[in-house]
Chain A
């Protein structure tokens, strides 16, 4: 679902990941240009270190009135959102639209490592850090930008 643009904002950052995300971001940018508010737009394949560094620069210079809009796969959108909240943005200042692939991040309860992969809650994935077989729980931390992975119980 497209949440649409937040007309209460006075300046905007629009970040998109993947082709599907880009299409959404174009729609948003068009709607925002009409308002005359300053818009900064960024597009890439994913929430890479380079993408996050760009966002960090924006956040450090932002004043109250700024809004962040994110479109793309869940893993990327959650990472960017997590950085924004760590740097003092609040829920009301962020709009997200998840689209594209089912790429998720899974946080290992045993080693703290994160594995990024196509998966669904209820499936098992191997932890990229410690190798344990993890059951992906339907439990998301927006701060870790990840799903909970716990050693798959041989009993269940």
Chain B
């Protein structure tokens, strides 16, 4: 994507000069004005990186099919997620994308990728990768499906190729609170318990979103636990880099996460869309430069450590707040 439109659409997440974890949930589809433009008007953001991101996902998935995980009981929810998202895409871009019902079969046409598919709902073999695998080839978001039972939410399926420091293959089948086990503060503070109570009560069709952020070394989307041997070198480089070199290497990594209660299956669909912006580009916006610098300077050590930004935090603060 060209730097101007990347900047204009970037979901800058920091609302104040200090940052703490909170149950930061808001209604989906409400546009947010920023210093540079706007984000958030849609549920599924298709941007200039569409084809490139999906090609990257395909490459990762081919090398490691374990990024797609489906426990057998959530099959109906996978179909629900697929059809809900394809309908949503078609409504958003009717000229290029369409989902039609033709003689008991569904026909999906995606002119952005040059893809046509015909399938019957429930026939997993009709689509490459099954319903969830196919959905992951049509949207840039990572996908997690949560089943609700025994008064809790369970992460029972997903397709995650762009994770930030975690592994879906390890996490699949966990309860919502177990998934968040490694996150500091949110358990004691009640942030997570409030979030789960809220999510458990979401009614069919309700849609919310939240943002999450971190700093990452290198411009790759895949920062999963699995691929850490691949990004360790960039991290090591960032630990000693300064000034312009650091600003080109270190990125603000923002996740716009959508939480959707699916209708027919009642499952919770969790979509994670990841955006990367090198500090050098971010610094062109004075308000963002100052805000991120101040947040990083004040961030408590446990949160900084968990986010993995300790090795280059001081250098980033110096770059952002130095004259």
- Touching in the complex, A and B, CB below 8 A? yes
Instruction: Please determine whether A143 and B235 come into contact, CB atoms closer than 8 angstroms.
Output: no
Q: Give every chain B residue within 8 A of A155 (Cβ-Cβ).
A: 235-236, 239, 311
Closest Cβ of chain A: how far from B244's Cβ, in Å? 21
Q: Give every chain A residue within 8 A of B5 (Cβ-Cβ).
A: none
Is the CB of B229 closer than 8 A to any CB of chain A?
yes
Is the CB of A37 closer than 8 A to any CB of chain B?
no
Instruction: Please determine whether B170 and A107 come into contact, CB atoms closer than 8 angstroms.
Output: yes
Is the CB of B182 closer than 8 A to any CB of chain A?
yes
Is the CB of A90 closer than 8 A to any CB of chain B?
yes
Q: Which among B126-134, B173-181, B207-215 touches the partner chain?
A: B173-181
Bound Cα distance from A150 to B173, whole angstroms? 19
With A107-B170, A155-B311 known as contacts, the answer to whether A140 contacts B232 (CB < 8 A) is: no
Which residue of A107, A110, A132, A141 contacts B174 across the interface (Cβ within 8 Å)?
A141
Give the number of residues in B that approach A within 8 Å (Cβ atoms): 22
Q: Give every chain A residue within 8 A of B178 (Cβ-Cβ).
A: 140-142
Give the number of residues in A that approach B within 8 Å (Cβ atoms): 23
Instruction: Please determine whether B174 and A153 come into contact, CB atoms closer than 8 angstroms.
Output: no
Instruction: Please determine whether B235 and A150 come into contact, CB atoms closer than 8 angstroms.
Output: no
Q: Give every chain B residue within 8 A of A142 (Cβ-Cβ).
A: 173-174, 178
Is the CB of B167 closer than 8 A to any CB of chain A?
yes
Q: Give every chain A residue within 8 A of B229 (Cβ-Cβ).
A: 110, 132, 151
- A24-65 CB contacts (< 8 Å) to partner B: none
Closest Cβ of chain A: how far from B149's Cβ, in Å? 8
Bound Cα distance from A141 to B171, whole angstroms? 7
Is the CB of B36 closer than 8 A to any CB of chain A?
no
Closest Cβ of chain A: how far from B102's Cβ, in Å? 39
With A109-B167, A138-B181 known as contacts, the answer to whether A143 contacts B228 (CB < 8 A) is: no
Closest Cβ of chain B: how far from A125's Cβ, in Å? 16
With A150-B228, A151-B229, A155-B311 known as contacts, the answer to whether A140 contacts B181 (CB < 8 A) is: yes
Instruction: Please determine whether B235 and A148 come into contact, CB atoms closer than 8 angstroms.
Output: no
Q: Which of B150, B167, B178, B232 has the most CB of A within 10 A?
A: B167
Closest Cβ of chain A: how far from B72's Cβ, in Å? 11
Q: Give every chain B residue within 8 A of A132 (Cβ-Cβ).
A: 229
Instruction: Please determine whether B225 and A109 come into contact, CB atoms closer than 8 angstroms.
Output: yes
Closest Cβ of chain A: how far from B97's Cβ, in Å? 35
Is the CB of B266 closer than 8 A to any CB of chain A?
no
**Residue interface mask A3-26, B partner, CB < 8 A = 1:** 000000000000000000000000
Is the CB of B226 closer than 8 A to any CB of chain A?
yes
Closest Cβ of chain A: how far from B63's Cβ, in Å? 12
**Residue interface mask B152-181, A partner, CB < 8 A = 1:** 000000000000000101111110001001
Instruction: Please determine whether B172 and A143 come into contact, CB atoms closer than 8 angstroms.
Output: yes
Instruction: Please determine whether A109 and B226 come into contact, CB atoms closer than 8 angstroms.
Output: yes
Closest Cβ of chain B: how far from A80's Cβ, in Å? 16
Closest Cβ of chain B: how far from A141's Cβ, in Å? 6
Instruction: Please determine whether A92 and B173 come into contact, CB atoms closer than 8 angstroms.
Output: no
Is the CB of A102 closer than 8 A to any CB of chain B?
no
Q: Which of B170, B178, B182, B235 has the most CB of A within 10 A?
A: B170
Instruction: Please determine whether A153 and B232 come into contact, CB atoms closer than 8 angstroms.
Output: yes
Q: Give every chain A residue within 8 A of B40 (Cβ-Cβ).
A: none
**Residue interface mask B43-65, A partner, CB < 8 A = 1:** 00000000000000000000000
Which residue of A112, A148, A151 contacts B66 across the interface (Cβ within 8 Å)?
A112
Which residue of B170, B225, B310 contacts A156 across the interface (Cβ within 8 Å)?
B310
Residue of A nearest to B165 (CB): A150
Q: Which of A91, A140, A141, A142 has the most CB of B within 10 A?
A: A141
- A128-156 CB contacts (< 8 Å) to partner B: 132, 137-144, 148, 150-151, 153-156
Residue of B nearest to A109 (CB): B225
Bound Cα distance from A141 to B168, whole angstroms? 11
Q: Interface residues, chain B, CB within 8 Å of chain A?
A: 66, 150, 167, 169-174, 178, 181-182, 225-226, 228-229, 232, 235-236, 239, 310-311
Other A-B pairs beyond A132-B229, A151-B232, 6, CB < 8 Å: A109-B167, A139-B181, A142-B173, A144-B170, A153-B235, A154-B236
7 contacts between A and B (CB under 8 A): A109-B169, A109-B170, A110-B228, A137-B182, A139-B170, A141-B174, A150-B228
* Chain A to chain B: the 3 pairs with minimum beta-carbon distance, closest first: A143-B173, A109-B225, A150-B225
